[in-house]
């Protein structure tokens, strides 16, 4: 038996024994994921049990090094673990910005002490992180941020305001872009610091969205304290890390646009009926649906192609520059079509008959996809200038 | 009829604009929503509207109305669209009164139209059964029972269902679902035995509900017009309803657009007013063109109603299809161009996108009406 | 009998007697119109007979004053004349840029001598005019034109190059924008001059278009002479006249987009067939056609509305600013749909089976609509800035 | 199969790019057009192509081909699209050889495929009868006559009709127009009695014609495959033909786009390089995105041919529909963004828009294939 087969056998056995039955049911939505933290939101006690057991083996973040709390698994082993978890429909034990955003940045830009201090608690689900990027007067123009960090010897004092900080009201620590220097161009003088949210100088107020949920906050800093040992990278060089994370985030958001499992056109035909040739009765909607599905197919093919090109050692091609833009626009189209296909229940907001407005709320939420993480307009600017080489105005 | 407003109409439009911008604004709508108001519109404001004659604006003078025609009503609805004002203008003035006028007997008109015109009675149409507007697909059944009828039906998206005094219920008295003949209309009081209303919370926070008619016994004179013969009157009622909704969507889209253009003139990014970026300028200019086309087709459709044109069905579907398309574009651009702030509940632009989609869906969306338009045009 | 009734009676009688039978057949296309000039292109001798007879009464341009060779008719009389001509399918006797473009400009901006000199020969079809506006390096940016007019006392000497001069190879005179001064902004120092093309310093070379026809020329001036008495308006103030004529031209071009008489959707159904419900079998094309026809309907309604508003004394509303843009874009859509509806014959270029490629050539010609007379992009800029009040970059 | 090119394919692509950019460019195409060349392509260039093996690129090695598969042919066609090269690549290599391989008997393959691969024989498909591609609607009839058949047909848009040696003619041997069964394929030599070719001048100045088959007598062995059973092989031939045309349109669109972007970087208006205007930048960036999607779907469809995927029909229609859409947009933007100069015959951009529309139409346009795609997907 190969090592990998043996690993599979052991993994299967361990999962069978350790994954609680309640954690073998798929999550219903974002709110159902376990995010950890000092005061975790726990819908079911098994969530913590499951997270702790996985964390003990480093399997909450199986591809990170063991020394930082990860599982130290190689690509093939990670794949086996995912497959075996999928086999029993095991939930992901832990979902957090620490894993998806800060961790990769620290592994790339952090010093040894920072990795040692911050990564293990992320793996164990002990500390929940949020991201302090956008500001009220710096939306797409992120680099014009004004939140100030004043040098006080071994620490900074932070003053200013962030907005669109995801779950800042529930996070323990923040990774935050601050201005340590005003003298150069706007991209210079930005620093990337980490600090604890549990201090008197920090206040987070949730923002209610048009979809009715409040995943984001306005966050205010009034002499909030950040230790200098928690400055990541050099002072004034934080923009490099910010760009790295923005790209990372865009790739995550673009995933929204993947082709759905069930064809929307078939759902439409089920709901609205077919003509004698088996075609959706309404030919107008049929055109929009066919064009949407065609584009979703071609977009999925493009994501595969770029993946295959990377695997073949050809590097990340120019096609990847369109992912964020196209994926989010596609997702918005999909959501508009949902309203047209599902009709009256899709414009319902509350109540069981409308499944608490899931379709409408998803539709409204999708409008943010082409704004957050760099608007579609900014994406198109980037393609025009960096890929096509068109000049500045 | 020239495609311009006459003096009387301009005055009406200005009066409506002034009144609604003060008494039934988006802020008022937000307050109604957040207080979970049980009426869902401001009864005092509605009383004032009725005092100004709006409840009978399109009702002939012989029945106590103003006789301004549907062009007049369209102008008021356009202003209601600009302010997202909730009121019985749609349920009762646009649809209910029209259904009574188109389908009712002389006695029913005598009894109801003056009461509607006085703002004393709310009448609404109970039609849709499935997820989509499909009037010929009506499957609800009314059966003969002695002199009268027994009706069984579940109707969705009934406007102002929770406060209506009377329902105009469309049910099948013969034929099979999918055919236009065999449909009849009945006048059913809200307090009749077997009628139950489930008020529904829609995305626009306006007022609609599901109404169940369980073995509701009706006297013979509840029948509106001919037995099995509701189609023609229903069709005309729906054409008019859709022209009215197109008027509302015109106001809504124009207001969303104008607010967005104003925002483009204020917001700075990358050291520039974002309204100076040509990418946004061209999109705004294209949308402006579409809104001008929208205004023309709505006005033409309103005139077709008042002139009793044989092109009404064609123009009604044209106007509704065009306004569904343009309202979708205007509200989507509105949110996108406002950026992050447009995604917040605190900002008002979100109210426009929400009301738009419900109005688009009501009595047939873009797909329904563009399909119907193509049929009317002959292909 | 009212004066107008009497005018109708007399007109009818005169037309019956004077309009040759051959001129009671509609023209087949642009090439069939009579344009006059020193060396007129005559397809049938009756063209000149008909033009001369009409010109004698001033009816080639019935609404111009009699003193300048026009008919001196009022609006109602012009309408009666048009109706009576239409009654017998009488052709327009004369079609020229002199009538449609230069005449209106001279009536507005010319001095008495200029009107007396130039308008009567236009009415009589003796002089054919062309327009010297665009230059190779000044397409949309017309005001950056470089053709130079040097002052030589009683005349200018013109040097430079024009392009897109319609039928310059067939014209006798040109109305031309030239630069008389380089010291101010680009809009200043432009002058509007008239001169004879029949001189040694002028050369016109036809440009072959993608549609295969050559309605435009490149025109070269090498010390071409223009008399100072033929300067229209003040020296250096020609831009005002240019703008007047551009607006005039845009209104003419936007007329292309009017809704066609026969519905394209019905033609498609005739060619491709209908399903059992009577709908065009191909639902995808049906959607495009329905949307096109809807937009054409709404555009036609908009042109009517603006006309009605003007009649009602409300002035020319903002809606008129979209005519050029929307009308030409609509015409391009119509032409693309023609290819899709008519299929193989529509991509034919030559030969009887393809009617000499009429559909394809019209399609190619339509591409120029959104370029000539101010591109669609320039039109959108104008709407954005002048109508919506959006700021300059 | 990974959606990347292997080393062999990259070399093939580079070789094709180099050769065509030198020997069969738009300038060569213009010269052929203006000299009203009777062949319509450069026979010497075609000979060189055949010497490089391109005539047999997708033909199995057992029949004298290169056996590079259709992915290889697609790469060459993409380069032909970039250069608008006229040659028998479409008529014979893409369609004719495929029809023989899919429909022919063993003897027919033996006789024809090696000759095609050697560049010695041109074979083309004679299918379309009406204004539109509609294979099931085929009405031309072949009747039994003794041992053989007599065929009567008028076929349009037959590629390279005027120089073809053999026609693969689709005719009805039973059934009624509109049904898929009852169609048969016949191999008809161009010099058979009753065959007349009318070369047609199309907008792209490439080569196509109308072929009339008047009482053409054929021996029994002219039948390809089963009597009445051509549908499956014809369908597959058409799927492959459309994937090949999509490859050509991909090259054409990409080239038109790249030339336009270059022009945007050079042309000045209002004191600025026009490529600095955001309105044009966004349109160019959107088109770039569509071209990347186009590349992916074409590659996926080519792989589906070579992998004998059961999704071929779905992917072929997807690829052709998408490329019809994108080619239309890319060529229209190309002319518009070039402005006045783009309208002149002297500039080359016009050649792209002309070839695009003919390639779009050939074997089914956007409307045909998006409709077919929706059917394949199940609605």
Looking at B24-174, list the stretches that DSSP marks H as alpha helix, in order from N- to C-terminal side. Answer: 26-34, 43-51, 69-83, 97-103, 106-117
Confidence of residue B80 (pLDDT cuts 50, 70, 90): very high
Is the alpha carbon torsion for D45, D50, D53, D55 positive or negative? positive
- Mutation for D interface: B270, B275, B278, most D CBs within 10 A: B278
Which of C301, C379, C380 is most worth mutating to test chain B (most B CB atoms within 10 A of its CB)?
C301
Q: How far is A299 from chain C (nearest CA, A)?
A: 21
Looking at chain A, which residue has its C-alpha nearest residue C281? A283
> By the CB < 8 Å criterion, does B200 face chain A?
yes
Mean pLDDT of chain C: 92
pLDDT of residue A252: 67
Determine the Cα–Cα distance for residues C368 and C209; give it in Å rounded to an integer: 10
Indicate the Cα dihedral angle A306, A312, A314, A319, nearest 10°: -10
* Chains interfacing with B (3 or more CB pairs < 8 Å): A, C, D
Query: What is d(CA B187, CA B99) in angstroms, rounded to the nearest whole number?
Result: 10
Measured between its terminal Cα atoms, the distance across chain B in Å is: 28
Q: Burial letters for B278-315: b for 16+ Cβ neighbours within 10 Å, e otherwise?
A: bbbbbbbbbbbbbbbbbbbbbbbbbbbbbeeeeebbbb
Q: Which chain C residues are within 8 Å of A290, Cβ to Cβ?
A: 284
Whether D265 and A391 lie within 8 Å, measured CB to CB: yes
Q: What is the CA radius of gyration of chain B?
A: 21
Nearest to B83 by CA among B232, B332, B224, B252: B252
Measured between alpha carbons, how far is C266 from D123 in angstroms, rounded to an integer?
38
- One digit per residue, pLDDT tens: chain A, 393 residues? 789 999 999 999 999 999 999 999 877 666 678 999 999 998 899 999 999 999 999 999 999 999 999 999 998 999 999 999 999 999 999 998 999 999 999 999 999 999 999 999 999 999 999 999 989 887 778 888 999 999 999 999 999 999 999 899 999 999 999 999 999 888 899 999 999 999 999 999 999 999 999 989 999 999 999 999 999 999 999 999 998 888 777 766 655 444 445 789 999 999 999 998 899 999 999 999 999 999 999 999 999 999 899 888 888 888 888 999 999 999 999 999 999 999 999 999 999 999 999 999 999 999 999 999 889 999 999 999 999 999 998
Q: How far apart are CA C239 and CA C245, in angstroms?
A: 10
pLDDT tens by residue, B136-149: 999 999 999 999 99
Beta bridge partners of A191: A178
Query: Residue B186 forms beta bridges with which residues?
Result: B169, B223
- pLDDT confidence bin for B19, thresholds 50/70/90: very high
> Distance of alpha carbon C351 from its chain centroid, rounded?
29
- Contacts of residue C13, Cβ cutoff 8 Å, sequence gap at least 6: none
Average pLDDT over residues B282-292: 98
B98-117 residues touching A, CB cutoff 8 A: none
Instruction: Quote the longest CA-to-CA distance of chain A.
Output: 79
**CB of D202 less than 8 A from some CB of C:** yes
Contacts of D353 in chain C (CB under 8 A): 210, 364, 367
Query: Chain B: nearest CA to A345, how far in angstroms?
Result: 7
Q: What is the mean pLDDT of residues D110-133?
A: 98
Pick the residue of A257, A277, A305 with the most D CBs within 10 A to test the interface with D by mutation: A305
- Distance in Å from the first CA to the final CA of chain C: 63
- The C-alpha torsion from C356 through C360 and C361 to C364, rounded to 10°, is -170
Q: Using CA atoms, how far apart are residues D252 and D327, in angstroms rounded to an integer? A: 7
Q: Which of C275, C277, C287 sits opposite A284 (nearest CB)?
A: C287
B213 SS3 class: strand
Q: Is D157 left (phi over 0), alpha (psi -120 to 50) or beta?
A: left
In DSSP notation, D29-95 reads: HHHHHHTT-SSSS-HHHHHHHHHTTGGGTTS-GGGT----HHHHHHHHHHHHHHHT--STIIIIIII
Domains detected in chain D: 7-121 (1.10.540.10), 124-228 (2.40.110.10), 232-376 (1.20.140.10)
**D131 to chain C: which residues are within 8 Å by CB?**
271, 342-345
3-state SS assignment for residue D292: helix
* Global ipTM: 0.91
Least Cα distance to B294 among B260, B335, B330 occurs for B330
pLDDT of residue B358 exceeding 90: yes
Nearest to D125 by CA among D243, D244, D247, D238: D238
> If we measure between CA atoms, which residue out of D269, B285, D273, B340 comes closest to residue A385?
D273
The answer to whether the Cβ–Cβ distance between B345 and A208 falls below 8 Å is yes
User: Cβ atoms within 10 A of the Cβ of D270, count?
Assistant: 14
- C64 burial level (CB within 10 Å; 0-12, 13-18, 19+): buried
- Looking at the complex, report in whole angstroms how far the Cα of residue D204 sits from the nearest Cα belonging to chain C: 8
Tell me how many helices (H) and strands (E) chain D has.
11, 10
Q: Among the options A249, A277, A352, A372, which is catalytic?
A: A249
Residues D336, C210: C-beta atoms closer than 8 Å: no
pLDDT for the residue numbered A259: 43
Supply the pLDDT for residue D60.
95
pLDDT at position C260 is 46
Report the pLDDT value the prediction gives residue C258, as an integer from 0 to 100.
Answer: 43
Residue C254 predicted with pLDDT over 70: no
Give pLDDT tens digits for D310-346: 999 999 999 999 999 999 999 999 999 999 999 999 9
Confidence of residue C256 (pLDDT cuts 50, 70, 90): very low
Mean pLDDT of C241-266: 72
CA distances to A274, A287, A340, B123, D378 from A270, rounded to whole Å, are 8, 16, 13, 34, 11
Chain B closest CA to C188's CA: distance in Å?
Answer: 25
- Alpha-carbon distance A330 to nearest alpha carbon in chain C (angstroms): 20
> Taking CA atoms, what residue in C is nearest to B300?
C301
Among C188, C249, C336, C344, which one carries the catalytic annotation? C249
Flag if A343 and B357 touch (Cβ within 8 Å): no
Which residue in A287, A293, A391 has the most chain C C-beta atoms within 10 A of its own C-beta, making it the best mutation to test that interface?
Answer: A287
Confidence of residue C373 (pLDDT cuts 50, 70, 90): confident
Q: 3-state SS string over chain A?
A: CCHHHHHHHHHHHHHHHHCCHHHHCCCCCHHHCCCCCCCCCCCCCHHHHHHHHHHHCCCCCCCCCHHHCCCCCCHHHHHHHHHHHHHCCCCCCCCCHHHHHHHHHHHHHCCHHHHHHHHHHHHCCCCCEEEECCECCECCCHHHCCCEEEEECCEEEEEEEEEEEECCCCCCEEEEEEECCCCCCCCCCEEEEEEECCCCCEEEEEECECCCCCCEEEEEEEEEEEEHHHEECCCCEHHHHHHHHHHHHHHHHHHHHCCCCCCHHHHHHHHHCECCCCCECCHHHHHHHHHHHHHHHHHHHHHHHHHHHHHCCCCCCHHHHHHHHHHHHHHHHHHHHHHHHHCHHHHECCCHHHHHHHHHHHHHHHHHHHCCCCCHHHHHHHHHHHHCCCCCC
- Model pLDDT, residue A257: 41
CB-CB: which of D2, D280, D322 is closest to A294?
D322
Copy the structure tokens of residue D78.
Answer: 């993409």
Q: From residue A315, how far is each of A59, A248, C264, D10 by CA, in Å?
A: 29, 16, 49, 16
Q: Give residue C26's pLDDT.
A: 76
CB–CB of B370 and C299 under 8 A? no
Q: Provide, as residue numbers in chain B, all residues whose Cβ is less than 8 Å from the Cβ of D278.
A: 277-280
Q: Please, what are the domains in chain A?
A: 3-123 (1.10.540.10), 129-236 (2.40.110.10), 241-387 (1.20.140.10)
Contact A376, A370 (CB under 8 A): yes
pLDDT tens digits, residue range B152-194?
A: 999 999 999 999 999 999 999 999 999 999 999 999 999 999 9
Annotated catalytic residue A77: no
What is the Cα–Cα distance from B235 to B321, expressed in whole angstroms? Answer: 16
Chain D residue numbers touching B279 (CB-CB < 8 A)? 278-279, 281-282
CA-based nearest residue to D356, from D155, D203, D180 = D203
């Amino acid at each position: 038996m190969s090592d990998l087969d043996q690993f599979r056998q052991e993994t299967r056995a361990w999962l069978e024994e350790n994954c609680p039955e309640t954690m073998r049911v798929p999550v219903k939505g974002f709110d159902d994921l376990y995010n950890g933290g000092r005061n975790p939101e726990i819908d079911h006690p098994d969530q913590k049990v499951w997270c702790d057991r996985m964390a003990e083996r480093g399997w909450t973040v199986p591809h990170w090094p063991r020394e930082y709390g990860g599982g130290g698994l190689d690509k093939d082993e990670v794949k086996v673990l995912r497959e075996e978890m999928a086999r029993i429909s095991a939930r992901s034990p832990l979902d957090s910005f620490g894993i998806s955003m800060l961790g990769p940045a620290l592994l790339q830009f952090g010093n040894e002490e920072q990795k040692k201090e911050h990564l293990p608690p992320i793996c164990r689900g002990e500390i929940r992180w949020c991201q302090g990027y956008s500001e009220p007067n710096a939306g797409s123009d992120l680099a014009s941020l004004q939140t100030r960090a004043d040098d006080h010897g071994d620490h900074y004092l932070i003053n200013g305001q962030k907005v669109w900080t995801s779950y800042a009201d529930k996070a323990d620590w923040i990774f935050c872009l601050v201005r340590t220097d005003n003298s150069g161009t706007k991209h210079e003088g930005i620093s990337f610091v980490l600090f604890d949210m549990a201090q008197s100088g920090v206040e987070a107020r949730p923002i209610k969205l048009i979809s009715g949920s409040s995943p984001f906050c306005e966050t205010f800093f009034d002499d909030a304290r950040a230790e200098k040992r928690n400055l990541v990278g050099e002072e004034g060089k934080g923009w490099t890390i910010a760009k790295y994370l923005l790209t990372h985030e865009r790739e995550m958001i673009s995933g929204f646009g993947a082709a759905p499992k069930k064809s929307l056109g078939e759902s439409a035909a089920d709901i609205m009926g077919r003509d004698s040739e088996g075609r959706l009765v309404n030919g107008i909607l049929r055109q929009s649906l066919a064009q949407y599905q065609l584009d979703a197919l071609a977009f999925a093919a493009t994501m595969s192609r770029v993946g295959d090109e990377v695997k073949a050692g050809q590097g990340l091609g120019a096609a990847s520059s369109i992912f964020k833009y196209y994926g989010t626009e596609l997702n918005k189209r999909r959501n508009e079509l949902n309203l047209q296909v599902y009709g009256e229940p899709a414009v319902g907001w509350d109540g069981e008959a409308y499944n608490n407005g899931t379709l409408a709320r998803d539709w409204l939420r999708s409008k943010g996809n082409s704004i957050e993480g760099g608007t579609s307009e900014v994406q198109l600017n980037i393609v025009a200038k960096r890929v096509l080489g068109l000049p500045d105005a | 009829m020239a495609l311009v407003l006459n003096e009387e109409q301009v005055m009406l439009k200005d009066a409506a604009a002034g009144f609604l911008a003060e008494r039934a604004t988006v802020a008022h709508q937000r307050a109604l929503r957040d207080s979970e108001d049980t009426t869902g519109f401001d009864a005092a404001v509605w009383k004032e509207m009725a005092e100004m004659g709006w409840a009978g604006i399109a009702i002939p003078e012989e029945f106590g109305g103003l006789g301004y025609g549907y062009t007049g009503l369209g102008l008021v609805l356009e202003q209601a669209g600009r302010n997202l004002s909730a009121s019985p203008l749609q349920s009762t003035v646009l649809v209910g009164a029209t259904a009574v006028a188109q389908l009712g007997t002389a006695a029913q008109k005598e009894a109801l139209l003056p009461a509607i015109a006085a703002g004393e009675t709310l009448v609404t149409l109970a039609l849709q059964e499935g997820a989509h507007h499909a009037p010929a697909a009506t499957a609800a059944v009314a059966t003969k029972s002695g002199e009268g009828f027994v009706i069984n039906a579940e109707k969705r998206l009934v406007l102002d269902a929770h406060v209506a005094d009377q329902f105009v219920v469309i049910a099948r008295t013969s034929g099979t679902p999918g055919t236009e003949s065999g449909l009849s209309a009945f006048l059913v009081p809200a307090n009749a035995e077997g009628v139950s209303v489930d008020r529904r919370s829609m995305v626009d926070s306006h007022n609609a509900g599901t109404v169940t008619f369980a073995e509701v016994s009706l006297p013979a004179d509840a029948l509106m017009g001919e037995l099995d013969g509701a189609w023609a009157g229903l069709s005309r009622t729906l054409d008019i309803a859709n022209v009215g909704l197109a008027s509302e969507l015109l106001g809504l889209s124009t207001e969303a657009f104008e607010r967005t253009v104003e925002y483009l003139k204020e917001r700075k990014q990358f050291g520039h007013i974002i309204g100076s970026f040509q990418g946004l300028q061209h999109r705004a200019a294209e949308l402006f063109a579409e809104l001008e086309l929208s205004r023309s087709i709505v006005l033409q459709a309103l005139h077709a109603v008042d002139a009793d044109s044989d092109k009404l069905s064609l123009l009604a579907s044209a106007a509704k299809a065009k306004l569904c398309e343009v309202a979708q574009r205007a509200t989507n651009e509105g949110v996108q161009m406002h950026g992050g702030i447009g995604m917040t509940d605190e900002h008002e632009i979100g109210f426009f996108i929400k009301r738009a989609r419900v109005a688009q869906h009501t009595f047939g969306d873009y797909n329904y009406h563009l399909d119907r338009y193509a049929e009317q045009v002959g292909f």
